Amino acid sequence: MNWRAPCLACLLVAAAPFGVSLPLEAVANPGQETGPFLLGSWLGLRDKASGCGIQPELVLTTDVLRNVHGGIERGTEVLNNIDLTLRIEAEEAGLPLSGTFFLYVLSNFGGEITSLVGDVQATSNIEAPSTVKLYEAWYERPLGSDRISLLLGLHDYNSEFYVVDYGAELIHSSFGIGPELSQVHPSIFPTTALGARLRWTPSDKTYVLLGAYDGVPGDPDEDRGTHVRLRRDDGVFYALEVGQTVGEPDGDYQKLGFGLWYHDTDYIDLSGRERTHNGGLYALAEKSLYRQSQSGLHLGGFAQIGVTRGDRNEVEHYVGAGLRCRGLIPSRGADELSMGVAHARTGGAYRRVYPQSRRAETTLELTYRAEICPGVWIQPDLQVVVHPGFDPTLDDAILVGVRLQVAL
């Protein structure tokens, strides 16, 4: 068991069931909508800053996860994540240029649940080495038209590419980005790289995303702190996604996207061969399936599929799917029940190196996210990992836990 000092999220949520009142109204601006923040409008400061095009946000997240069966060993891990962001709309802030500036400081500390489960697909999407770093720092501006924009700087590729909204509340990492892509370590959590992203929306329903990022984010030999290095042998990670969206996720919504990526960095594959490139394809779809306007009940579903080179990668195929139901309990209209299945299959090269390995690892997740007061959420979670790590010696793992989240 690996217990660390509890973060503020733990203390705030733990206090609620025992009747400890939190002074929400004392800090909220009278007459103003507090929104989903524990401290409301910060005595009106948040509203004033927003009026000037400045939007700060601080979110604290804690996962308490216990492996109760199978995997490598039983035990509990506590994982903590702090997100501090600042968005500045240049014109509204009185700056002599148009566009948006964005800064994002990330802090992670705590345990590693994968050390107990032994899975390839991480069961928590906030698991990362303990450190504080500048995670994103970019500037985006339109290029002569509101339909075309260019972004430059430290940028999380997965903040725009390979995204399904109806899978956002699931804790398992594969519902954020498929393991067939994340295994090559592009510019995603927890380490980003310098890059450029071009967004083009030919119509109100269609979009095209183009990206190019440094092929080796950060410093592979040092995972603590912020490291921005541009070396000739890093290569480049290229990305393209095209798609169509209709409506908004909270209403009648559908999205269909297709993406491809190419990585020209030199590396040694799992069989010990020198390689000069890698690449893959993915597709994603999501759709509003049922909506009842009077009660607020809303059911949406999503699907993901990704494929990469089986002769040089551990994971060759990935398929994911899930459902999100909001307002299942009439008196709890904002609560969300989510479920998903993530299936990762090995490539031929991996099976030649490890002939006794399992063909696939599959994770099933069921989670319920409830807001217990403005800006504070509690989320019980259950996951079953079938054939963790493709390892035939490991029993299927069962994890139970809870996510606690506070937006200040």
The residue among 1 and 357 whose pLDDT is bigger is 357
Predicted TM-score (pTM) of this structure: 0.88
Read off the pLDDT of each residue in 275-291 and give the average, rounded to a whole number. 96
Cis peptide before 380 (omega within 30 of 0): no
Place of tokens 């190196």: 353
Per-residue pLDDT tens over the stretch 2-19: 333 333 333 333 333 323
Domain 8-407: give its CATH architecture.
Beta Barrel (2.40)
Q: Please give the Cα distance from 310 to 303 (Å, whole number).
A: 22
The residue among 360 and 272 whose pLDDT is bigger is 360
Helices (H), 226-371: 348-353
Is 394 in contact with 114 (CB distance < 8 Å)? Answer: no
Residue 271 pLDDT class (50, 70, 90 cuts): confident
What is the pLDDT at residue 30? 29
The answer to whether residue 21 scores a pLDDT higher than 80 is: no
The answer to whether residue 248 scores a pLDDT higher than 70 is: yes
What is the pLDDT at residue 40? 83
User: And the tokens for 7?
Assistant: 């973060």
Indicate the domain borders of the chain.
8-407
Read off the pLDDT of each residue in 225-242 and give the average, rounded to a whole number. 92
For the chain, what is the mean pLDDT?
Answer: 89
Place of tokens 């307002």: 327
Per-residue pLDDT tens over the stretch 155-201: 999 999 999 999 999 999 999 999 999 999 999 999 999 999 999 99
What is the pLDDT at residue 1? 34
Per-residue pLDDT tens over the stretch 311-352: 999 999 999 999 999 999 888 888 999 999 999 999 989 999
What is the pLDDT at residue 144? 84
Residues 6+ positions from 91 with CB-CB distance below 8 Å:
53, 97, 98
Residue 296 pLDDT class (50, 70, 90 cuts): confident
What is the pLDDT at residue 398? 98
First to last CA, the chain: 30
Per-residue pLDDT tens over the stretch 27-70: 233 233 335 888 888 778 888 898 999 999 999 999 999 999 99
What is the pLDDT at residue 4? 35
Is 44 in contact with 34 (CB distance < 8 Å)? Answer: no
